[in-house]
């Protein structure tokens, strides 16, 4: 077999893609995992994972490293920090072009591109990104020791990260556009009982202000339309993420929010093409759901090839 040809190519090296790689390579399928950036996806941004079955607590980067090593131990080939520049996966032979030069082919493909942080897209955000504005509390929290910070968001991740930030910040304000949180009760209770946290509902940030770094925010009450400013040292925007599916439009079926549409077997509308992880259209997104997707997609791909 040509070294550029594989049984299955997995696009994405997060928990879904790595799990698929583990199952495929252990089943003696010649497997290639292609990943655009650092292995682990969103998982590596998590300081502590305490709800992964069988593991009391582990850092996200360590769990990612473990999964990668396990996939490689079974024979999976991994290429990271690459750019996918072409793709033809409509026929029985799937071809992926990388870095405008290398081409890899396979009989089946698993799409696991994951997602990226969602931005507010308000004035000043782009200019001050990385200079007071962050999208990862576990990555940048320690830069705000004894500082005043705001957290934007009202979901589980936003509230959990807000609580973790109180280890560093002297004062923390959660700004949420609705009049209630979209989070589990335990996460809401943790926020409400923390004396460092103040909550501002029905409010949105309309501008970030600062010269060399973030100095203040301009925010608007959605009910009264009143506009105010607040001096802050940092802002963490934790409002979810968007799927990395821009290069999949017209190739596989996507929904109106550009998530990959699959059935319960992770099959897309293209024969031999499966999808898994956070880029797939589904209700819940956790490491465990990504791992589940990766398992099902791999088993589906194996069955597809055996048939």
Catalytic residues: 136, 139-140
Coil/strand/helix, residue 10: strand
In a 13 Å sphere around the CA of 104, the CA atoms on its Cβ side amount to: 25
Q: Is 75 exposed, middle or buried (0-12, 13-18, 19+ CB in 10 A)?
A: middle
> 206 phi and psi, to 5 degrees?
-110, -10
For residue 58, what are the CA distances in angstroms to 12, 47, 61, 226? 22, 8, 9, 44
DSSP string, 72-141: HHTT-EEE-S--EEEEE-SSSSEEEEETTTEEEEEEEEEE---EEEPP---TTHHHHBTTTEES-HHHHG
Query: Which residues are CB-neighbours of 91 under 8 A, at least 6 positions away?
Result: none
Contact 247, 84 (CB under 8 A): yes
Q: Please list, residue by residue across 176-202, b when 16 or more beta carbons sit within 10 angstroms of its beta carbon and e when fewer do.
A: beeeebebeeebbebbeeeeebebebe
> 159 phi and psi, to 5 degrees?
-70, -40
């Amino acid at each position: 077999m040509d070294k550029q040809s594989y049984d299955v190519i997995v696009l994405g090296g997060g928990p879904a893609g790595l799990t698929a790689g583990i199952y495929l390579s252990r089943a003696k399928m010649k497997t290639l995992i292609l990943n655009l950036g650092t292995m682990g996806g969103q998982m590596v941004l998590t300081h502590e994972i305490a709800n992964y079955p069988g593991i009391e607590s582990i850092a996200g980067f360590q769990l990612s490293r473990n999964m990668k090593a396990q996939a490689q131990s079974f024979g999976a080939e991994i290429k990271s920090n690459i750019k996918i520049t072409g793709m033809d996966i409509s026929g029985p032979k799937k071809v992926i072009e990388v870095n405008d030069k290398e081409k890899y082919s396979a009989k089946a493909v698993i799409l696991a591109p994951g997602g990226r942080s969602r931005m507010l897209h308000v004035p000043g955000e782009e200019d001050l990104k990385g200079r007071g504005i962050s999208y990862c509390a576990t990555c940048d929290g320690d830069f705000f020791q004894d500082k005043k910070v705001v957290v934007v968001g009202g979901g589980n991740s936003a509230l959990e990260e807000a609580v973790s930030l109180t280890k560093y910040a002297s004062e923390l304000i959660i700004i949420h556009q609705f009049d209630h949180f979209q989070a589990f009760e335990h996460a809401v209770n943790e926020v409400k009982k923390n004396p460092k946290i103040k909550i501002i509902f029905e409010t949105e940030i309309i501008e970030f202000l600062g010269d060399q770094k973030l100095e203040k925010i301009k925010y608007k009450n959605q009910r009264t339309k009143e506009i105010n400013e607040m001096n802050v040292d940092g802002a963490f925007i934790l409002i979810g993420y968007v799927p990395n599916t821009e290069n999949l439009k017209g190739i596989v079926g996507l929904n109106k929010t550009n998530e990959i549409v699959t059935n319960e077997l992770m099959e897309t509308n293209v024969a031999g093409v499966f999808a898994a992880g956070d880029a797939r259209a589904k209700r819940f997104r956790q490491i465990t759901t990504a791992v589940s997707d990766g398992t099902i997609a791999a088993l589906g791909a194996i069955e597809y090839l055996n048939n």
